[in-house]
Amino acid sequence: MTMTTFDSGREGLIDLLQGIRKGDIQLPDFQRGWVWDDEHVRSLLASISLSYPIGAVMMLHTGNPDVKFKTRIVEGLQLSTLPEADRLILDGQQRLTSLFQALNTEKPVLTRDIRGREIQRWYYIDIEAALNPYSDREDAIISVPETRQVKNFRGEITEDYSTPDKEYENGLFPISQVFDCSSWREGHQEFWDYDRDKIKLFSQFEREIVKRFDKYQVPVISLGRETPKEAVCQVFEKVNTGGVSLTVFELLTATFAAEDYLLRQDWEQRQAQLNHFQMLHGIASTDFLQALTLVASQERRRLAISGGTVAEKAPGVTCKRKDILKLTLEEYKTWANAVTSGFQETAKFLHGQKIFTARDIPYKTQLVPLTAIFTLLGDKAQNHGIRLKLAQWYWCGVFGELYGSAIESRFAKDLPEVLAWAEGGSKPDTVATANFTSGRLLGLRTRNSAAYKGIYALLLQDGGPDFCSGIPIDEQVYFDDKVDIHHIFPKDWCKKQGLDVKRYDSAVNKTPISARTNRKISSKSPGTYLPILQKSADISDDQMESILYDHLIDPDTLRQDDFERFFRTRESALLDRISGVMGKSISREGISSIDYSLFSSDWHPFLKSLSELDGLAIASGSNIDEDTDGSYFAVVARGERIIHLVDGNMPSAVATKSVLEQSSSTVLLVTHQEPEVGLASVIFALQETTEQDSVVPITDDTELPNEKREPKVDFRQLCVNRLSSELGLTLLPETRTGYVSVDNSVAVICTISKNYQVSGHDSYWFAFHPSQKEFLQRYPKSYVALGCGAPEHIVLLPFQELVSWLDDFWTTEKEDRSYWHIRVHKKNGLLELDRKKGLGRLDVTSYSLSSNYR
């Protein structure tokens, strides 16, 4: 059996207009005002005079207690009391209002001219022109001003139909008389002294024109009383192509108005509050209702389950259109203030992530679930650990690019899953499934991409000091200096070099730069503009290097105008940064290939053919430094010779080199970068035999091309000697970085770093590995010694103290390894450790072995 919620048929135009006059047919309050212009009205009247179709109208029968709308009468109608409507016009308002005002009132029609200005018009039919088969019917429909007089530019009356006699004289029939023309007919006959030709003419006019209005049938689609509210919304959106778009907000406004609640006024007040935050300027009424519906549905579910309903049968968490329309006024009043506060907390959170404007928000849609989360977490959202989880969830959504489609379903999953995660549950699906691949960086070229905006925000988080001023970019600087995303290697320069537009126009070659600095850069190469910027702002080489490192840029690549090496190092650095905020490893397949700059041009054809072989395997290592735990590949090139470091069981790199210089079975090539700034090394391996090579770490003795390491001859040993003296023990090597006392009572991990200048002060970078933690746990007393540039400057941290701080440190997690970042700053007479955003630095001055800090 076929079941429908609508009927279709035909109704007389005269009956429809009579229903409007009596108030039986009205408009739902969400319908826009009548806006048809004079030309549209004339064309409509002409169509009916010819019995041409004017399209169907759609009506909704009232009486459904779940579908209540505030109603209003059709414009032009005046009633002393407003009756209950029997039907509401969903589609056809413009046509029915035009016809009602023109045919059923004794007042001029309120319409607009071609310029959109409001005017009032009377409409006539030119009798002779209408009966002329060769005349255009629209030309026979006459529109005149409310005075019924037409004047020229000098104000002189050129046409006058202000009295019935003048209508008779000019043969113009007033359309407002079309349903009852008897009195006009009598006047017309009397005026023409019952002239037979005039009587015959008007009789023909009645038969051929007037009767068409009287007999005109309009197709009507009627939606039954049982039609649900969401269907009304959907139907209106589909059929009302010529009108304004109908949103759930408009429908809910009409629904709440039936209960004397002014939703629009309430929203406008809340919107004014939210607009105090730049990043919330784009929040629409529907966004607010979605967030509120999420919260209300989550609370319904919670109450049902706490009341004994099994989870499978409890109401679901949702925010689709049909669910918003089911929102009750009581629920709205209950949650509106809390959701408003939730949006404000969301704005503060975005500010903390260095997102300052609505334009810079990666996904505006993601603010809906984020607001719902803040609303229901309440004060718990201020917990540091929970806030870190929210940040990870947020960035997984951004870089996983998960909020571009099917968003309502993801909203409904996110809210309960993130709330549960905050209470110690498992990771939400957004965090677990988010994925970012290295190849995606090349596709990030404009603000249309959420991930592109995400990278921009991460660079601002890192300070992103301006190339010229050196001032870290905060909100004030962002707006005052008109900071935006600009090319590092200028576009014009790249074009002249014949570089691939996909690479130089990608996010890898862009960074936050002030408008003033970008003008100075112009189309100059980095090697040209850096000295200019430094001179104009009195910035030293060390200071500029520090600025560039904060932008994840290798300074040497810019000074040497080496785009290829710049691209590889920054590409890898950006991937590391994205990996950090997502809390998961990123596949490096497809990352930039062989570093040809390490080899003379004679090698290039061979290297190119090597890179194209199917047997080429790619592996990646990160932070290949003196603290590597043995799980890394490492390759260097020296002069014209490829040196391959393999076999983790070998006692030293020197021995490894000796073996490899006698072997040609395997070739490995590397793009090596400064490890201390967190850049990865990418290894390309080609196996020419079936024999598998194992891997050893790079040691302090390893010679690397173009390295800027300080001499490390015996640096670690000098630190160990100092430690032995301070502790009154003899420390013997157990691993490359691990040392143990003769009686096995004390163990030390000794790790070392060169000095880096950051914002004018000394800084040192270290990595602490799980394998080192496990090593120290085996001994009753243990320490971690941080050699800060020289054996005279050692920070000796008790192991148990360090363990208690590890959760506060930034981490890198990859599929096969992980480690904690330890960064020491020497500033204003203090030694401090970096911690995660919002925690501030940790003072460890008291742990220094230097007399300067005791």
pLDDT in tens, 612-657: 433 333 232 333 333 333 333 333 333 333 333 332 222 233 333 3
Q: Please check whether residue 668 lies inside any domain of the structure.
A: yes
Whole-number pLDDT of residue 228: 77
What mean pLDDT is predicted for residues 440-461? 88
Instruction: State how beta strands 157-160 and 510-513 pair.
Output: unpaired
> Is the model's pLDDT at 716 over the cut of 90?
no
Whole-number pLDDT of residue 147: 94
What mean pLDDT is predicted for residues 589-594? 46
Whole-number pLDDT of residue 261: 86
Band the pLDDT of 664: cuts 50, 70, 90: very low
What mean pLDDT is predicted for residues 499-527? 91
Q: Please check whether residue 695 lies inside any domain of the structure.
A: no
Choosing from 170, 195, 220, the residue where a domain stops is 220
Whole-number pLDDT of residue 786: 93
> Is the model's pLDDT at 435 over the cut of 50?
yes
Q: Are residues 51 and 171 in the same domain?
A: yes
pLDDT in tens, 188-232: 999 999 999 999 999 999 999 999 999 999 999 888 888 877 677
Give the C-alpha separation, 852 to 554, whole Å: 33
> Is the model's pLDDT at 323 over the cut of 60?
yes
In this predicted structure, which of 244-253, 358-367, 375-384, 430-439 has the lowest mean pLDDT? 244-253
Band the pLDDT of 99: cuts 50, 70, 90: very high
Between these two residues, 572 and 682, which has the higher pLDDT value? 572
Choosing from 638, 668, 687, the residue where a domain stops is 687
CA diameter of the chain: 137
Q: Are residues 212 and 275 in the same domain?
A: no
Write the CB contacts of 100 (distance below 8 Å, at least 6 apart in sequence).
Answer: 17, 20, 21, 74, 76, 77
Between these two residues, 357 and 658, which has the higher pLDDT value? 357
In this predicted structure, which of 20-29, 603-612, 788-797 has the lowest mean pLDDT? 603-612
Reported as type and span, the H/E element at residue 512 is strand 510-513
Average pLDDT value for the chain: 80
> Is the model's pLDDT at 409 over the cut of 70?
yes
Q: Are residues 674 and 734 in the same domain?
A: no
Q: Are residues 394 and 541 in the same domain?
A: no
Whole-number pLDDT of residue 239: 57
Tell me what percent of the residues of the chain surpass a pLDDT of 70.
80
Band the pLDDT of 29: cuts 50, 70, 90: confident
Percent helix, percent strand, percent coil in the chain, to nearest 5 = 45, 20, 35
E-strand spans in 55-139? Answer: 57-61, 71-72, 87-91, 109-112, 118-126
Cβ atoms of residues 335 and 291 within 8 Å: no
Residue showing tokens 């026979």: 140
Question: How many domains are contained in the chain?
Answer: 5
Between these two residues, 445 and 333, which has the higher pLDDT value? 333
Whole-number pLDDT of residue 588: 65
> Is the model's pLDDT at 610 over the cut of 50?
no
Q: What is the DSSP letter of 823?
A: E
Q: Please check whether residue 403 lies inside any domain of the structure.
A: yes
What mean pLDDT is predicted for residues 380-405? 92
Q: Please check whether residue 250 lies inside any domain of the structure.
A: no
Q: Are residues 465 and 534 in the same domain?
A: yes
Band the pLDDT of 679: cuts 50, 70, 90: very low
What mean pLDDT is predicted for residues 18-31? 87
Taking the CA atoms of residue 62, residue 65, residue 67 and residue 72 in that order, the dihedral angle to the nearest 10 degrees is 50
Most confident stretch, 230-244, 508-522, 586-600: 508-522
Whole-number pLDDT of residue 506: 92
Whole-number pLDDT of residue 687: 26
Give φ, ψ of 286 to 5 degrees: -70, -35
Write the CB contacts of 735 (distance below 8 Å, at least 6 apart in sequence).
Answer: 775
pLDDT in tens, 300-315: 999 999 999 998 899 9
Q: Please check whether residue 601 lies inside any domain of the structure.
A: yes
Q: Are residues 407 and 473 in the same domain?
A: no
Band the pLDDT of 665: cuts 50, 70, 90: very low
Q: Are residues 149 and 77 in the same domain?
A: yes
Q: Are residues 725 and 647 in the same domain?
A: no
Between these two residues, 610 and 368, which has the higher pLDDT value? 368
Q: Are residues 192 and 47 in the same domain?
A: yes
Q: Please check whether residue 142 lies inside any domain of the structure.
A: yes
Q: Are residues 395 and 427 in the same domain?
A: yes
Between these two residues, 836 and 646, which has the higher pLDDT value? 836
Token output for 824: 């020491």
Whole-number pLDDT of residue 248: 81
Distance of CA 546 to the CA centre of its chain: 31
Cβ atoms of residues 435 and 575 within 8 Å: no
Question: Which residue range forms the structural domain that includes residue 554?
Answer: 440-582
Query: Interior CA angle at 581 toward 579 and 582, to 5°?
Result: 65
Q: Are residues 175 and 304 in the same domain?
A: no
In this predicted structure, which of 366-370, 722-726, 802-806 has the lowest mean pLDDT? 722-726
Whole-number pLDDT of residue 106: 85
Whole-number pLDDT of residue 179: 93
Instruction: State how beta strands 680-687 and 666-671 pair.
Output: antiparallel
Q: Please check whether residue 231 lies inside any domain of the structure.
A: no
Q: Are residues 147 and 283 in the same domain?
A: no
Between these two residues, 615 and 19, which has the higher pLDDT value? 19
What mean pLDDT is predicted for residues 692-712? 31
> Is the model's pLDDT at 321 over the cut of 90?
no
> Is the model's pLDDT at 100 over the cut of 80?
yes
Between these two residues, 248 and 599, which has the higher pLDDT value? 248
Band the pLDDT of 124: cuts 50, 70, 90: very high
Ordered DSSP codes for 521-548: HTT--HHHHHHHHHHHHT--HHHHHHHH
Give φ, ψ of 798 to 5 degrees: -60, 135
What mean pLDDT is predicted for residues 323-343? 94
Band the pLDDT of 474: cuts 50, 70, 90: low
Choosing from 392, 407, 433, the residue where a domain stops is 433
Instruction: State how beta strands 634-638 and 641-645 pair.
Output: antiparallel
Q: Please check whether residue 483 lies inside any domain of the structure.
A: yes
Using alpha carbons, select from 123, 239, 241 the residue that is nearest to residue 174.
123
Whole-number pLDDT of residue 611: 44
What mean pLDDT is predicted for residues 805-809? 89
pLDDT in tens, 230-269: 677 666 666 554 444 567 888 788 778 777 888 989 999 9
Whole-number pLDDT of residue 193: 94
pTM exceeding 0.85: no
